[in-house]
């Protein structure tokens, strides 16, 4: 135990921190994590002054916008600081679509807790995101009082980059996918495209996170090191630090351009720790690196522990770190000598599929619980989509930089458009295959049983076949609960 403590300091901090957050969440002691969502005027009609903290996005008959209620105005002015989701109705005299981030509104509405969507408690989910409730604001029940300049807001940067892509000659269907891939801006993506990505098991490609920041990391590292051709330049101690600082600045610049969403911040923070470890000549990607990122995030945003995105991203990396060494010995690392010319491509394909399988095993119980389905062609989707996603992100960033340059910009935009078209087509084809999705409903105890089966299975492959009994017991109990519940 003493050796474990000495070699795993970050885990010693992480486990008590998670325990404390769980204690706060389920007992409200010593801190109520949802205290800032307690709203004294819930379900009552009042007049409020509010400021929009995001750009409005269109819905079927309204425009949805996140806002912060500044004060209650219908009696004596009472200061507030409460986040809500507004659903604004508009007409020709009150066009809600012309509102922008930073606009101050005077509105009369009733803030309510969101209800359940099937088995999903949407209201509890919003409260864990710090949002007190939702409010429908009818036509003529709101007016814009003014605008505050927020040009340095990450949301403003993301909106500016999305507008820049809109001005380029992309097909509408491909434009929405490219904006989601490159910027995390999902408002323009077509519903059937989003459904195809979800059904094929490639929905993570549309959520800007570790994959996308990893692509940016690879591009910047390659540019700063001449793609490894001038190794002495970045092996020297001083230049290693210059290289690391340049990469970290580029990563956080990309995070700002994507709106500083929680998934991007997590991935960027993890890569920052990794790069600083490289600069100090320490082990880079490890369980302690993962734990350090988790500790830093949970110290400042403890509610992220209950965020599906946080859980999925960290479980994916945790599974890759733990399961990849277990799976690798069971797949040949090289082809026979007479096929040596294919060896490099085979090793790349082997690595990609094993990483995909490990990440899927780590996230499958959670995705099944949150979304109610299991994708059956996830390996095929990864084989087709991930290389295209790499090219699409590179093309999207190149389009932002070179899109207005004559001839060169036109060529970059045309190639990027075709790559995204091929990706959409591939995902649609996988979605059309028979049995692409299996509907599965599980409960939290069943999540633990699935993870227990995966852990015992890994121990069986790594240590002893006797652990197979534990995996069989977990799967048997899971099957019993699935049939009876």
The whole-angstrom separation of Cα 94 and Cα 86 is 15
Tokens of 89: 């109705």
**Which pLDDT tens digit goes with each residue over 279-314?**
777 656 678 888 888 888 888 888 888 888 888 888
The mean pLDDT of the chain is 84
Q: Would you tell me which CATH number, out of the four given (1.10.10, 2.60.40, 1.10.3470, 2.40.50), belongs to the domain 35-147? A: 2.40.50
pLDDT at position 3 over 70: no
Q: Residue 119's pLDDT is what?
A: 64
**Which pLDDT tens digit goes with each residue over 330-383?**
887 776 665 666 777 778 788 888 888 888 898 889 888 888 888 888 888 888
**Which pLDDT tens digit goes with each residue over 243-289?**
888 889 999 999 888 888 777 888 888 888 888 877 777 656 678 88
Q: Residue 340's pLDDT is what?
A: 62
Specify the length of the chain in residues: 485
pLDDT tier at 1, thresholds 50, 70, 90? very low
pLDDT at position 94 over 80: no
- For the chain, percent of residues with pLDDT exceeding 70: 92
Q: Residue 151's pLDDT is what?
A: 66
Better-predicted residue by pLDDT, 159 or 224: 159
pLDDT tier at 105, thresholds 50, 70, 90? very high
pLDDT tier at 436, thresholds 50, 70, 90? confident
pLDDT at position 241 over 70: yes
pLDDT at position 210 over 60: yes
Most confident of 7-11, 68-72, 415-419: 415-419
Q: Residue 5's pLDDT is what?
A: 42
Which phi and psi angles does 168 have, rounded to 5°?
-95, 155
Cβ 452 vs Cβ 470: under 8 Å: yes
pLDDT tier at 2, thresholds 50, 70, 90? very low
Residue range 178-189: mean pLDDT, rounded: 87
Domain ranges of the chain: 35-147, 444-484
Better-predicted residue by pLDDT, 382 or 103: 103
The whole-angstrom separation of Cα 180 and Cα 305 is 24
Q: Residue 64's pLDDT is what?
A: 92
Q: What is the 3-state secondary structure (H, E, C) of the chain?
A: CHHHHHHCHHHHHHHHHHHHHHHHHHHCCCCCCCHHHCCCCCCCEEEEEEEECCCCEECCCCEEEEEEEEEECCCCCEEEEEEEEEEECCCCCCCHHHCCCCEEEEEEEECECCCEECCEEHHHHHHHCCEEEEEEECCCCEEEEEECCCCCCHHHHHHHHHHHHHCCCCCHHHHHHHHHHHHCCCCCCCHHHHHHHHHHCCHHHCCCCHHHHHHHHHHHHHHHCHHHCCHHHHHCHHHHHHHHHHHHHHHHHHHHHCCCCHHHHHHHHHHHHHHHHHHCCCCCCCHHHHHHHHHHHHHHCHHHHHCHHHHHHHHHHHHHHHHHHHHHHHCCCCCCHHHHHHHHHHHHHHHHHHHHHHHHHHHHHHHHHHHCEEECCHHHHHHHHHHHHHHHHHHHHHHHHHCCCCCHHHHHHHHHHHHHHHHHHHHHHHHHCCCCEEECCCCHHHHHHHHHHHHHHHHHHHCCHHHHHHHHHHHHHHHHHHHHC
The pTM is what? 0.84
pLDDT at position 6 over 50: no
- Count Cβ atoms within 10 A of the Cβ of residue 387 and give its class: 0-12 exposed, 13-18 middle, 19 or more buried: middle
């Amino acid at each position: 135990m003493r050796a474990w403590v000495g070699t795993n300091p970050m885990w010693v901090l992480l486990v008590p921190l998670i325990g404390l957050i769980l204690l706060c969440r389920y007992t409200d002691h010593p801190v109520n994590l949802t205290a800032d969502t307690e709203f004294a005027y819930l379900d009552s009609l009042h007049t409020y002054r509010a400021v929009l903290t995001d750009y409005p996005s269109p819905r079927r008959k309204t425009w949805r916008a996140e806002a912060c209620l500044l004060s209650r105005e219908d009696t004596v002015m009472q200061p507030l600081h409460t986040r809500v989701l507004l659903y604004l109705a508009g007409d020709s005299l009150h066009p809600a679509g012309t509102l922008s981030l930073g606009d101050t509104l005077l509105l009369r509405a009733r803030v309510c807790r969101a209800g359940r969507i099937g088995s999903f408690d949407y209201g509890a989910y919003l409260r864990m995101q710090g949002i007190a409730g939702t409010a429908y604001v009818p036509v003529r029940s709101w007016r814009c009082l003014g605008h505050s300049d927020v040009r340095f807001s990450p949301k403003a940067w993301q909106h500016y980059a999305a507008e820049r892509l809109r001005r380029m000659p992309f097909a509408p269907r491909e434009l929405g996918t490219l904006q989601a891939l490159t910027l995390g801006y999902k408002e323009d993506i077509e519903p059937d495209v989003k459904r195809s990505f979800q059904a094929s098991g490639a929905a993570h490609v549309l959520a800007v996170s570790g994959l996308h920041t990893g692509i940016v990391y690879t591009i910047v590292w390659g540019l700063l090191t001449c793609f490894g051709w001038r190794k002495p330049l970045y092996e020297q101690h001083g230049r290693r630090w210059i290289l690391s600082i340049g990469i970290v600045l580029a990563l956080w610049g990309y995070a700002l351009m994507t709106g500083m969403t929680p998934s991007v911040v997590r991935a960027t923070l993890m890569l920052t720790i990794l790069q600083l470890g490289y600069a100090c000549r320490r082990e880079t990607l490890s369980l302690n690196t993962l734990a350090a990122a988790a500790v830093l995030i949970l110290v400042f945003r403890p509610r992220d522990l209950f965020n599906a995105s946080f859980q999925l991203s960290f479980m994916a990396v945790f599974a890759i770190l733990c399961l990849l060494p277990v799976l690798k010995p069971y797949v040949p690392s090289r082809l026979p000598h007479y096929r040596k010319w294919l060896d490099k491509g085979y090793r790349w394909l082997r690595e990609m599929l094993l990483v995909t399988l490990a990440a899927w095993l780590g996230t499958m119980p959670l995705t099944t619980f949150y979304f109610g389905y299991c994708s059956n062609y996830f390996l095929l989707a990864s084989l087709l989509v991930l290389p295209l996603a790499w090219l699409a992100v590179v093309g999207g960033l190149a389009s932002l930089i070179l899109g207005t340059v004559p001839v060169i910009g036109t060529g970059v935009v045309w190639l990027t458009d075709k790559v995204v078209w091929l990706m959409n087509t591939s995902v649609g084809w996988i979605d059309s295959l028979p049995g692409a999705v299996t509907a599965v409903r599980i409960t939290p105890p069943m999540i633990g049983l699935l993870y227990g089966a995966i852990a015992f299975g890994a121990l069986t492959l790594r240590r002893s076949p006797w652990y197979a009994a534990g995996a069989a017991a977990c799967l048997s109990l899971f099957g019993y609960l699935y049939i009876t519940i």
